[in-house]
Amino acid sequence: ARITLRQLLDHAAENGYGVPAFNISNMEQGLAIMAAAKATNSPVIIQASRGARSYAGDRVLARLIDGLTETYPNIPVCMHLDHGNNLATCATAIQNGFTSVMMDGSLKEDGKTPADYAYNRNITKAVVDMAHACGVSVEGELGVLGSLETGMGDQEDGHGATEKLSHDQLLTDPAEAEKFVAETGVDALAIAMGTSHGAYKFTRKPDGDILAMHVIEEIHRRLPNTHLVMHGSSSVPEDLQKIINAYGGDIKPTWGVPVEEIQRGIKSGVRKINIDTDNRLAATAAIRKSFAEDPAEFDPRKYLKAAMGMMTEVCKQRFEAFGTAGNA
């Protein structure tokens, strides 16, 4: 059954667990995520970015979600728009059956230029008014993550929009978060606490300082009833990096967000944990391995089945680690 983000995260808060939000742009990801949700009896958030929507097409994506929810009628599914950039993107997502939208007003409409507070508040409030009238939940974002443009993070000194900002400027200000939630009425708030999108987040295993866990704790103290969202939360597992590189890939040494740090966040109000990269790595590892081990095979179902298996494994581990398992 389809539920809103508010319904799902209220239950998660009452019961002290977190919910992974897995990105989707194709059928294999969808089937893999749902198989893991079913195996662990977990509710799930499936989210599509603007890139995913243009890759699959809104109609195909909408029917795909219908197919997934009808195939697993007992699994609560929140269908969420990831990083909406204006009112229209959020409205068309709602028309396509999304039960939750993110209005990311921390960035301008181009999705890379950091925006000021007034811009963010005004556009987020407009989306909240529209979405709530439709019974749809809204996630906002305050603070700046690593560059969305390059997918590169803290270790990247390249061309991202965030390169000119210091670590402290990137973090969400707790007092401003309190004001933002009061002024916009968002159901969930994405906060910047040191993570970035993509595989290249950290040059070493991050500790609590790099991850600014104190920022999460302070925001939760001020906003105990606001569901916090961690973006860029892939763990970038070393074993998947090794498989990819063993079969001809080229992933440079890198670290993601350790699962135990996410578990600490869940103790401080983090309820939605965004994961895309880990499933991308899992699919790539499985496909590279399949190609190497059976070069004569050319039926895509063979290697895509292997990809689904490895993605399901990643999803199951996250459902278990975040306490989502058993809550469907």
Report the sign of the C-alpha dihedral through residues 49, 51, 52, 58, in that order.
Answer: positive
**Annotated catalytic residue within 58, 66, 82, 173:** 82
Residue 234 contacts which entry, ligand 13P, ligand G3H, Zn ion, none (Cβ below 5-8 A, type-dependent): ligand 13P
- CA 20 distance to own-chain centroid: 7
Q: How far is CA 189 from CA 45, 101, 115, 148, in A?
A: 15, 12, 16, 18
Question: How many angstroms separate the CA atoms of 328 and 324, rounded?
Answer: 8
Per-residue x/- track, 136-175, ligand 13P (CB under 6 A): ----------------------------------------
Compare residues 279 and 324 and give the one whose CB is closer to ligand G3H: 279
Could you tell me the smallest distance in angstroms from the CB atom of residue 82 to ligand G3H?
A: 6
Per-residue x/- track, 160-199, ligand G3H (CB under 6 A): -------------------------------------x--
Helix, strand or coil, per DSSP, at residue 123:
helix
Question: How many angstroms separate the CA atoms of 175 and 191, rounded?
Answer: 12
Could you tell me the smallest distance in angstroms from the CB atom of residue 31 to ligand 13P?
A: 19
Question: How many angstroms separate the CA atoms of 28 and 167, rounded?
Answer: 37
Question: What does the DSSP 8-state code read for residue 116?
Answer: P
Could you tell me the smallest distance in angstroms from the CB atom of residue 113 to ligand 13P?
A: 18
Could you tell me the smallest distance in angstroms from the CB atom of residue 194 to ligand 13P?
A: 12
Per-residue x/- track, 256-295, Zn ion (CB under 5 A): ------------------x---------------------
CA angle 182, 186, 190 (to 5 degrees): 105
Active site residue 82: yes
Is 234 assigned a ligand-binding role in the annotation? yes
Residue range at the interface with ligand 13P (CB under 6 A); choices 130-138, 209-217, 219-227, 273-281: 273-281
* Whether the Cβ atoms of residue 107 and residue 85 lie closer than 8 Å to each other: yes
150: contact with ligand G3H by CB under 6 A? no
Q: How far is CA 208 from CA 70, 152, 155, 272, in A?
A: 41, 21, 17, 19
Could you tell me the smallest distance in angstroms from the CB atom of residue 306 to ligand 13P?
A: 21
Question: How many angstroms separate the CA atoms of 282 and 154, rounded?
Answer: 23
Q: Which of 48, 2, 51, 8 is nearest to 27 (CA)?
A: 48
261: contact with ligand G3H by CB under 6 A? no
Report the sign of the C-alpha dihedral through residues 238, 256, 151, 20, in that order.
Answer: positive
276: contact with ligand G3H by CB under 6 A? yes
- Binding residue positions for Zn(2+): 83, 104, 141, 197, 231
Interface residue list for Zn ion (CB under 5 A): 231, 274
Which residues have a catalytic role annotated? 82
